[in-house]
Chain A
């Protein structure tokens, strides 16, 4: 009974302090949203809906098929159809369009003749992104420009060429959930104890009847709640901005996230008992962030990594959680389909908590 009320007191205090610490609060909401937008859009090379005008001077079966293929690609949003190439130039100048497609009247003949360009692409070169895309468009198998012989089927192969995975955010966000939770959770608890040590609070705390376990649990529990809120935030924003679905059970996802959050909090807590300053705690956390991003399968496909890197990756909780999120969110897997990952996270959480509790003593020496 006394223990429970002490635990509640520690938790209340943590929440109170957290609410007042602007930086912590900003981290809870800011980091997930920032990361989501950053990774969601930056990794998303799937640029779509560039405003486009077309001047189809040929208007043949082949040219119409080409235009249809272009429209289907979704890269371009065909907003205008004009009659001459000169008009395209004027619109480009006026900034009304990003891409102008001029199809000459002898389009069919040019397609057959691989020494002449079949299509003229007018591109707003002032925008480097768009210019880059034009480059890609030009190198496509269907030779809009001056290059090799056209392949008819190439016309509709436009899009997959530069976005083979199709809608990228869908693949990024399940992994991003893991990375965001890993970063924030570990950082929170890594500084949790060492901060009180630096501020001198710890000497007072360890001289009260509060036990190590109450102190540890009291510090972890509020952050589990925060982690779950962050997850909701990411899922919501991911759904709204990038149409990322949760195909499997959301409860499964939350259960897996709960374990993953606990594992990271416990690891952070262990760091916090092992270091002397907040700065060291941060460094240790960042030291672990890099492999968690690079070796977890988040950035590089896991199977493509060197064997040693794979072994290292297997140690990281993030690796296992990414498999779970991808499975649940994209492949409609259940927790029962991925028991190994779940067990690893659970074992990791228990081991790290025990290690933290053992390392933290209510002594100063």
Chain B
């Protein structure tokens, strides 16, 4: 790693009673990059982000964020980070402009530049028309833009975004990511959690979390090329029959249906996965075409989050 790290965590753990919400997490987030946290609900994404900004005390392990140990030095850290909570956390009974002004005051943004900074953000995040609208009455996409505008108002070095796009339409998501790239180009480090594959694919690096455990990390390309699985795509008129024909083979790690296609994961140890699939389809008299394809991020996700016995097979 040549670039400096914005976040470095070692053995970071958080237990709630007997539940290991985050379990011995190691994390290296390079500066000025977009780092993704991919994982299903309850995998520990929010808990990790909260530990990183000092809101939760780790049960074990340590984390260094922008050179500050958390949670011990989170007070010094606060002015340097921007945090967008999973749930909308701005004031619904205040207008868009009032919310931005409040944030500016709380972060002691120089009074002389406050008004122009608010105008600039309204413009940049396409909220000028909503300026006097109460935040509580806005649409999901508008709220999200306001939340991002508030999170970046004080020019933080690090942005922590917790599932920022889970409540917005696809167009808003694309626009949102355009904003994130613009920020990253400006030198901001961004840690963003998501459960959308297409978003994960856009990250420079990402970590996949499952039940509090980091099961993979790297660039999307690295992850795709190191699944340890062959991917066979099966196109069948009756995908259901094809699935039944394939699911019970010991050698097959998983079968996932995507429309009329099936994606079949077979461990690297199998020499001719295509033959294996075709033989079994013929045996069950299921008409289908199959071919070897490159692993998508979705395949990676399926491969790393499947239960361990199945993976070992």
Contact = CB atoms under 8 A, between A and B. Distances in A.
Contact of A365 (B56, B94, B98, B107): B56
A364 B107 CA distance: 21
B88 A207 contact: no
Shortest Cβ-Cβ A-B pairs, 10 listed? A9-B105, A204-B89, A200-B89, A200-B87, A2-B108, A207-B83, A208-B106, A364-B55, A203-B85, A209-B78
Contacts, number: 74
A6 B106 contact: yes
Interface stretch (A15-23, A77-85, A134-142, A331-339): A15-23
Contacts of B11: none
B105 A6 contact: yes
Contacts of A13: 91, 94, 102
Task: Give the contact-size bracket for chain B.
Answer: 20 to 34
Given A208-B106, A209-B79, A363 B93 contact: no
A202 B85 CA distance: 10
Contacts of A210: 106
Nearest to B160: A207
B228 interface: no
Contacts of A16: 94, 98
Interface string B81-99: 1010101111111100010
Given A204-B83, A207-B53, A9 B88 contact: no
Interface string A185-207: 00000000000000111111111
B89 A201 contact: yes
Q: Which of B50, B89, B98, B103 has the most CB of A within 10 A?
A: B89
A17 B95 CA distance: 11
A117 B240 CA distance: 104
Nearest to B78: A209
Contacts of A204: 83, 85, 89-90, 150
Interface residues of A, number: 28
Interface of chain A, main secondary structure: helix
A68 to B, nearest CB: 64
Interface in A4-62: 5-6, 8-10, 12-13, 16-17, 20-21
B9 to A, nearest CB: 17
B20 to A, nearest CB: 15
A17 B94 contact: yes
A152 B141 CA distance: 87
A210 B83 CA distance: 14
Contacts of A206: 55
Nearest to A365: B56
Contacts of B56: 363-365
A17 B91 contact: yes
A6 B75 CA distance: 15
A363 B55 contact: yes
A230 B212 CA distance: 52
22 contacts: A2-B108, A5-B105, A6-B108, A12-B102, A17-B94, A20-B93, A200-B87, A200-B88, A200-B89, A201-B89, A201-B91, A203-B55, A203-B85, A207-B81, A208-B103, A208-B106, A209-B79, A209-B106, A363-B56, A363-B57, A363-B71, A365-B57
